[in-house]
Amino acid sequence: MTEPGRPEPAIDDVLARHGARRDALLQILRETQEHTGWLAPATIARIAAGVGLTPAIVTGVASFYRFLHLRPVGHVHLLWSDNVTDRMLGSRALARELCRRLDAAPGRPSPDGSASVGYTSCIGLGDQGPSVLVDQRHVLTRMDAQRVVELADLLRARVPVADWPAQWLRVDDGVRRADRLLGAAPMRGEAVRAAFALGPAATLEALQASGLRGRGGAGFATAAKWRACLAAPPAPGTTRVVVCNADEGEPGTFKDRLLLARHADTVLEGMTVAARVLGAQQGFVYLRGEYRWLLESLEATLRRRRAEGLLGARILGADGFDFEVAIHVGAGAYVCGEESSLIESLEGKRGTPRIRPPFPVERGYLGRPTVVNNVETFCAAAHVIAGGASRWAAIGTAASTGTKLHSVSGDVARPGVYEYPFGVTVAQALADAGAVNPQAVQVGGPSGTCIGAAEFGRRFGFEDLPTAGALMVFDASRDMFETARAFAHFFAHESCGFCTPCRVGTELVARRMDKLAAGHGSLFDAHELQALEALMHGTTHCGLGASATNALRDTLVRFRPAYERRLQSPSFVPAFDLDAELAPARRATGRDDPGAHLERRG
């Protein structure tokens, strides 16, 4: 982090850079914190005055995002990736050892103020863990016991991150299998020129003929989404908006990280093609806070494309073909991967999902018709237009055309990113990744589907096994109950809190799983877990809440013995000692006779 100094000039500079706009509040808060270290009440008040809001509203926004600090943190703030695959690599033991050497604890900085240590759900480096996020600006990969010893010494000596061993901060591409997307060079105008030659209507027809569907997991037809946005008239004096969802927050997913690092030009090509079709002049890349370390390289790509006439005013020298892209960096909120939450965050608000309809294609960013597609979808759209719809449609299956990127991690010899045509089997992916004796695969992250060995013949595709791109592999030594319990805690932590079924339900599921883990399970608990799962699937405000119990549902069915070992009692077993809870009352009354103890009655 930048050495804290006088905050007022830094705040004024940040406010001026963003024009003190209300919709830029999250960026103002995030950039200010990079100078001040944390958001003190005086800092909040100054920002609030600058953007014309009350300190209470600004504090409410800041408190929503876990990377914004309303209390002091250490000189260096470290967050260990806490996804289940990192835990399998020993991340928790390494984090505890670092805390011991610094005399720190999660939520409590070291006594000398040199560092604070904590956990975050996943930082998109599942193929190179255990990994650590440093000040939300750097990442450490492949941590081990020796590196922890050396890291503690560097932190105590306050050695700048720039002087740490370079290999610690190295992020590899991790490409294990390349096809249409990963095997091609980044585009430098090919798709934009093709779209310009075709014209908006023919470009949209080509996209429809290709059969391209969104790569975020839901699989909505890309051409249909763009058509719906095109049918929504923008308000006078405004245009439609194009947004790239780069908030790759699903644990176990890291393929968008690779595309942003090595194929950003192609992603921006796809966005520019969309802008040409929609007549949009404004675009955003919503970059997840965990990928803040990619910001400088992405900004450099934007500058180069402007210089090459591929962004900005008069793209390719054409009058009226104007399109600009800005990068909006998130601040740690899983729910912002949902498109309406993302738009709320773009507008400088808490990332709470909107009530729909209206859908973003009708009323999105600042009320304008807005297309939101993810990184891989825009990349694929560029390839469709540059290479031809028929060429794309010839790959994969009839209902799932083209290729799909998969982030493979866990119990495999070769973790990384694999690109396959749709229709490949899970078994093929496991063999290529070097999985030995796998018992389960979590497809699509915690909100996806957990399958067992009997289903490894299933094929990736919207007609069989859809996926957002994550494959977490678990061999026969893993306890699938503990995997589901880890996911339950993830969703309880990440709930935005807007609706009661998700806010309360995720917490109840996590507590019930903890009860079983502590040895207090009964058949009653199994019925309660199933009831909670059914309730949340039908009552939550957004799709993220509805998918929060997918892993519970799947593991209860496919790995029932992992639960039955913890459900031995036929009658209810309380999760706590009620008699012990009455101890303060006994002390207050001075009683310790048999009548004052529950277990002694009778």
Beta carbons of 417 and 408 less than 8 angstroms apart:
yes
* Chain segment 181-232, per-residue pLDDT in tens: 999 999 999 999 999 999 999 999 999 999 999 998 788 999 999 999 999 9
Distance from chain centroid for Cα 72: 25
Enumerate the β-bridge partners of residue 285. Answer: 244, 327
Joined tokens for residue 92: 């928790």
- Per-residue model confidence (pLDDT) at position 283: 98
Distance from chain centroid for Cα 251: 7
Burial category of 56 from C-beta neighbours within 10 Å (exposed 0-12, middle 13-18, buried 19 and up): exposed
Beta carbons of 106 and 159 less than 8 angstroms apart:
no
pLDDT, greater one: 584 or 358? 358
* Chain segment 327-359, per-residue pLDDT in tens: 999 999 999 999 999 999 999 999 999 988 999
Q: What is the pTM of this model?
A: 0.93
Where in 322-401 does DSSP place strands (E)? 324-329, 370-374
Task: Count Cβ atoms below 10 Å from residue 50 Cβ, excluding itself.
Answer: 20
* Predicted confidence (pLDDT) at residue 5 exceeds the cutoff of 50: no
Beta carbons of 293 and 139 less than 8 angstroms apart:
yes
| Residue 385 CB contacts under 8 Å (≥ 6 apart), including other chains | 191, 194, 195, 198, 203, 206, 207, 273
512: enclosing H helix or E strand: helix 500-517
Q: Which has the minimum average pLDDT: 5-9, 138-142, 237-241, 540-544? A: 5-9
pLDDT, greater one: 226 or 531? 226
- Per-residue model confidence (pLDDT) at position 167: 97
Rounded CA-CA distance 405/416 in Å is 10
What's the rounded mean pLDDT across residues 590-600? Answer: 80
What's the rounded mean pLDDT across residues 378-405? Answer: 97
Beta carbons of 381 and 226 less than 8 angstroms apart:
no
241: enclosing H helix or E strand: strand 241-246
475: enclosing H helix or E strand: strand 470-475
Rounded CA-CA distance 549/577 in Å is 28
Beta carbons of 344 and 350 less than 8 angstroms apart:
yes
DSSP 211-225: T-B-TTSS--BHHHH
DSSP 468: S
Torsion of CA 424, 430, 433, 437, to 10 degrees: -170
What's the rounded mean pLDDT across residues 153-180? Answer: 97
DSSP 407-451: EEEESBSS-EEEEEETT-BHHHHHHHHTB-SEEEEEETSTTSEEE
Burial category of 550 from C-beta neighbours within 10 Å (exposed 0-12, middle 13-18, buried 19 and up): buried
| Residue 441 CB contacts under 8 Å (≥ 6 apart), including other chains | 426, 430, 450, 451, 456, 471, 472, 473, 474
For the beta sheet containing 416-421, the strands, ordered from the edge strand earlier in sequence to the opposite edge, are 175-177, 416-421, 403-410, 470-475, 438-443, 449-452
Beta carbons of 354 and 343 less than 8 angstroms apart:
yes
Rounded CA-CA distance 358/251 in Å is 29
For the beta sheet containing 282-287, the strands, ordered from the edge strand earlier in sequence to the opposite edge, are 324-329, 282-287, 241-246, 370-374
The amino acid at 7: P
- Per-residue model confidence (pLDDT) at position 4: 46
Domains of the chain listed by start with CATH number:
7-63 (1.10.10), 76-172 (3.40.30.10), 177-393 (3.40.50.11540), 405-478 (3.10.20.600), 482-564 (1.20.1440.230), 577-602 (no CATH)
Q: Coil, strand, or helix at residue 286?
A: strand
Q: Which has the minimum average pLDDT: 88-97, 270-279, 409-418, 533-542? A: 533-542
Joined tokens for residue 172: 């590899």
* Predicted confidence (pLDDT) at residue 48 exceeds the cutoff of 80: yes
Q: Which has the minimum average pLDDT: 241-255, 515-529, 534-548? A: 534-548
Q: Coil, strand, or helix at residue 240?
A: coil
